[in-house]
Amino acid sequence: MSDIIQLLPDHVANQIAAGEVVQRPASVVKELLENAIDAQATHVKLIIKEAGKVLIQVIDNGSGMSITDARLSFERHATSKIKAANDLFQLDTKGFRGEALASIAAIAHVELKTKQQEDEVGTEIKIEGSQVSSQEVCVTPKGTSISVKNLFFNIPARRNFLKSNTVELRHIIDEFQRVAMVHADVKFDMYHNGNEVFNLPISNHRQRITHIFGSKINEKLVPVQEETDLVTISGFVGKPEYAKRTRGEQFFFVNQRFIKSAYLNHAVNAAFEGLLKEKTHPSYFIYLDVDPKTIDINIHPTKTEIKFDDEHALYAILRATIKHSLGQFNVAPILDFNRDASMDTPYDYKGKIAKTPTIEVDRSFNPFKEESKSNADGSSKKYIGFKKESAGDWENLYVGLDSVTTDIKSTENNFSTIQFESEEVTGSLFTGNEQTALEHTTTYQLRRKYIVTTIKSGMVIIHQHRAHQRVLYEEILRNITMVSAASQQLLFPLKLSFSKQEVALLISVREQLENTGFVFETFESEEVAITGIPTVATESEVSVLLEKLISDIEQEVPDCGFSQTDLLAKSISSSIAVKTGMDLELAQQQYIVNGLFACTEPNITPDNKPTFITLTVDEIDKKF
């Protein structure tokens, strides 16, 4: 048989390499920004159109390139940053592989303009799918401008695989921030579709973080500083009381490079031990400087993971340093004494001694009376996360399980005329023929997690959080799509601070949020004032709710309206549904049970998890 092995042509090799280097527009942004920094720029401008799908341009005032270098820069393994393998152990540049420009040029239309300080004129090169289409002399200021257009034009599969603009832009902003956060001594601007997204003047690290995340963050930062033989640590951690439900602002930089490290993250969390509410995550901005010889950044093509020689020591130093800072800035004791206990309830049940559950059967219980009594005497009996005027929902108490698949509207019509005054009426309804009809109204809460109740054929065990999420989800969805929900007016506007991007995101879903009952007074660049909130939510939940919503939207949402509505309903319902661990009064348990079985799809949560299980008498009999 004849020889069959051949060397791949360069443009094919480049396209294959591009798969590793360029996963999405944000990868291009990262490479171009890093090149600008490596070229000693003091001003870097990032211009984006359509989340990078149409244009990514980086303009810097750095060293620029000679004519020959400009042409060579697009060759594979062409780099000015290392000469020998040994140089890998003393890297002080971000790039070193010489792959980025070659890869980008293989899968996009690229235009480069560059000029060195000492040269009269610059060079302009156009290159498409690795083919140089023109090279000319041009007039251009000192530095380099690279435009990358029509990314993945020759790999439709990749192009189609890109996420929505919201998601891709979020990735771009992430990369931009990671570079900008390290190089506070460089001015950075970013524009998207002609609008300024960031304008970051030369400053120090603290100011840079404040410029990026909003001025409110400044008061939340505790400085961290330590110098040892192994490592120099600087940066900030967020005060524990500002810890977030989502892992938003967590950054490690090692030798000016953003990295991810579950191990070091663990060290930070360990330093915060005992200071955080459950399921919250501290913010941190930690800059580590180590001898380049003691790390290996070569293990991952996109270089966000690195290997340390002495990970254990680093862990111990980092944890001790942060612990010390938190102590020194009086964060720890303040938290213990000034804590608002009422804020803790959903989270701190773990440490409490469990109350023995007691079942109280109030034979004369009438949910309507209960509601009106608390309304009349003004006592603010809190049904956390419950819709206050939910009287109508009680009617669903009497809806048989079998009817859940029937149109919810028609069941409402059937039952809305029935007045339930006495136990007798209730009793007769529950002796209907349906096998699954709720037998009587007694419910029982198990381990603050499940609600147990009986049906004709046996018993139902309901997951309280999931069931409530399903109820709220359908209600919110109905409100967004069909009618506007009622709103509770707040006595004082609730002012919440966000970053500029977060505010922009909230504005983009404003209408849907308003349909759920939110009333916004003002949207300022870093602050939102809210005067009304959905009746199903409480004021103290709103900040977490919006925070979670923002992070859910950033991570998942496609640009299509329906899915966005669905996501919004999912996110809000999961935020405000009663949590596992919450004690539920009898009325609350029953509200959930009845609400659930009045849903169009009671069996599962919006994320397809089961909301309840049934155990028939037959199944129970078998166990005896």
Residues that bind Mg ion (CB under 5 A): 35, 95, 100
CB of 184 to ligand ADP, least distance (A): 20
CB of 35 to Mg ion, least distance (A): 4
User: Which residues from 58-77 bind ligand ADP, rule CB under 6 A?
Assistant: 60, 62-65, 73
Q: Which two tokens stand for residue 429?
A: 């309804």
Neighbours of 154 (CB within 10 A): 16
31 lies in the site for ligand ADP, by CB under 6 A:
yes
78 lies in the site for ligand ADP, by CB under 6 A:
yes
d(CA 5, CA 218): 61
Residue 81: name its binding partner from Mg ion, ligand ADP, none (Cβ under 5 to 8 Å by kind).
Answer: ligand ADP
User: Identity (one letter) of the amino acid at 614?
Assistant: T
178 lies in the site for ligand ADP, by CB under 6 A:
no
Q: What is the DSSP letter of 421?
A: -
d(CA 463, CA 448): 10
- Which of 19, 98, 129, 558 is the binder for ligand ADP (CB under 6 A)? 98
- What is the DSSP track for 269-322? HHHTTTTS-TT-B--EEEEEEE-GGGEE-TTSTT----EETTHHHHHHHHHHHH
514 lies in the site for ligand ADP, by CB under 6 A:
no
Nearest alpha carbon to residue 62 among 140, 165, 155: 140
Question: Is 41 or 322 the residue whose CB approaches ligand ADP more closely?
Answer: 41
State the residue number with the nearest CB to Mg ion.
95
Residue 73: name its binding partner from ligand ADP, Mg ion, none (Cβ under 5 to 8 Å by kind).
Answer: ligand ADP
Question: Is 79 or 390 the residue whose CB approaches ligand ADP more closely?
Answer: 79
CB of 147 to Mg ion, least distance (A): 16
Q: How many residues bind ligand ADP (CB under 6 A)?
A: 24
Helix (H) or strand (E) segment spanning residue 7: none
CB of 188 to ligand ADP, least distance (A): 14
The sign of the CA dihedral 7, 8, 10, 15 is negative
Residue 457: name its binding partner from Mg ion, ligand ADP, none (Cβ under 5 to 8 Å by kind).
Answer: none
Partners of residue 459 on adjacent β-strands: 454, 615
Question: Is 21 or 237 the residue whose CB approaches ligand ADP more closely?
Answer: 21
Burial of 94 (0-12, 13-18, 19+ CB in 10 A): buried
Q: Phi then psi for 344, rounded to 5 degrees?
A: -85, -25
User: Which residues from 370-409 bind ligand ADP, rule CB under 6 A?
Assistant: none
The length of the chain in residues reads: 624
Question: Is 99 or 474 the residue whose CB approaches Mg ion more closely?
Answer: 99
- What is the DSSP track for 493-549? EEEEE--HHHHHHHHHTHHHHHHTT-EEEEE-SSEEEEEEEETTS-HHHHHHHHHHH
Nearest alpha carbon to residue 406 among 419, 396, 417, 394: 396
Nearest alpha carbon to residue 467 among 615, 590, 619, 616: 590
Site string for ligand ADP, 517-556 (x = CB under 6 A): ----------------------------------------
Considering only the stretches 100-108, 171-179, 213-221, 233-241, report the one whose residues sit in contact with ligand ADP under the rule CB under 6 A.
100-108
474 lies in the site for ligand ADP, by CB under 6 A:
no
Residue 488: name its binding partner from ligand ADP, Mg ion, none (Cβ under 5 to 8 Å by kind).
Answer: none
97 lies in the site for ligand ADP, by CB under 6 A:
yes
Question: Is 25 or 95 the residue whose CB approaches Mg ion more closely?
Answer: 95
Neighbours of 242 (CB within 10 A): 15
Question: Is 94 or 208 the residue whose CB approaches Mg ion more closely?
Answer: 94
Residue 98: name its binding partner from Mg ion, ligand ADP, none (Cβ under 5 to 8 Å by kind).
Answer: ligand ADP
Judged by the rule CB under 6 A, the positions of this chain that interact with ligand ADP are 31, 35-36, 38-39, 60, 62-65, 73, 78-81, 95-102, 144
